[in-house]
Structure 1
Amino acid sequence: MRMLIASEPGRPDRDNEDFAAAAPGLLLVVDGAGSPAGVESGCVHSVAWYARNLGGLLLAAATDKRHGLDEALAVSIERVNAMHAATCDLRHPGSPSATVALARVHDERLEHLVLSDSVLVLDRPDQGPAVITDGRLAEVVARLDEPDRPSPGDSDEHARFLRSRVEQLASFRNQPGGFWVASTKPEAASEALTGSTPLMGLGAVALLSDGASRLVDRFGLMTWPDLLAILGKDGPDELIARTREAESTDPDGARWPRGKASDDATAVYWAVQG
Structure 2
Amino acid sequence: MIRLVDSVNDPGKGRNSEDRIGCDPRRGLAWVIDGATDVCATRLFPDAPTDAFWFAEQTDRLLRHTGGGTPLDMAAALIQGLREAVERQTESPVSAIPPGDMPSAALTVTRWNRASGTLSFGGFPDCTTLVRRPGADAIAIPKPVSDKDEQAQARRLLSDGSDINATLRRQRARMNRPDGYWVLSVHAEAVVGLNTHETSAEPGTRVLLCTDGFYRLVEMYGLYDDDGLFQAAEREGLASLIGRLRGFEADAADDIPFGRFKTSDDAAALLVELT
Specify the TM-score bucket, using the shorter chain as the normaliser.
0.7 to 0.9
RMSD over equivalenced CA pairs, Å: 2.6
Given the superposition, is the C-alpha separation of residues 174 and 131 from structure 1 closer, same or farther in structure 2, using an over 3 Å criterion? same
> Following superposition of structure 1 onto structure 2, how do residues 71-150 of structure 1 map, counting pairs within 5 Å?
71-86=73-88, 87=90, 88=92, 90-91=94-95, 92-93=98-99, 94-106=101-113, 107-124=116-133, 128-132=137-141, 134-135=143-144, 138-141=146-149, 145=153, 148-150=156-158
User: Which runs of no fewer than 5 residues in structure 2 stay unpaired?
Assistant: none
Q: Could you say which residue in structure 2 is the equivalent of 1:17?
A: 18
> Is residue 26 from structure 1 mapped to residue 26 from structure 2 by the alignment?
no
What amino acid sits opposite 1:139 in the alignment?
D
CA distance in 1, matches of 2:189, 2:155: 34
User: Which runs of no fewer than 5 residues in structure 1 stay unpaired?
Assistant: 152-156
Q: Could you say which residue in structure 2 is the equivalent of 1:206?
A: 208
What amino acid sits opposite 1:176 in the alignment?
P
CA distance in 1, matches of 2:151, 2:249: 25
Scaled by the length of structure 2, the TM-score of the pair is 0.84
What amino acid sits opposite 2:73 in the alignment?
E
> Is residue 54 from structure 1 mapped to residue 63 from structure 2 by the alignment?
no
Instruction: Give the percent of matched residue pairs that are identical in Structure 1 and Structure 2.
Output: 25
What amino acid sits opposite 2:125 in the alignment?
S
CA distance in 2, matches of 1:144, 1:239: 26
Given the superposition, is the C-alpha separation of residues 41 and 26 from structure 1 closer, same or farther in structure 2, using an over 3 Å criterion? farther
Scaled by the length of structure 1, the TM-score of the pair is 0.84
CA distance in 2, matches of 1:59, 1:73: 13
Query: The residue matched to 1:271 in structure 2 has which SS?
Result: strand
Query: The residue matched to 2:81 in structure 1 has which SS?
Result: helix
- CA deviation profile, 1:38-91 (whole Å, cap 9, x unmatched): x32572352111111112212321xx33x1122112111111211231425523
Contact 2:151 2:258 in 1 (8 A): no
Contact 1:43 1:90 in 2 (8 A): no
Given the superposition, is the C-alpha separation of residues 226 and 166 from structure 1 closer, same or farther in structure 2, using an over 3 Å criterion? same
Kindly tell me the number of residue pairs found equivalent between the two proteins: 260
Given the superposition, is the C-alpha separation of residues 230 and 252 from structure 1 closer, same or farther in structure 2, using an over 3 Å criterion? same
Given the superposition, is the C-alpha separation of residues 77 and 41 from structure 1 closer, same or farther in structure 2, using an over 3 Å criterion? farther
Given the superposition, is the C-alpha separation of residues 202 and 140 from structure 1 closer, same or farther in structure 2, using an over 3 Å criterion? farther
CA distance in 2, matches of 1:128, 1:231: 13
CA distance in 1, matches of 2:142, 2:106: 10
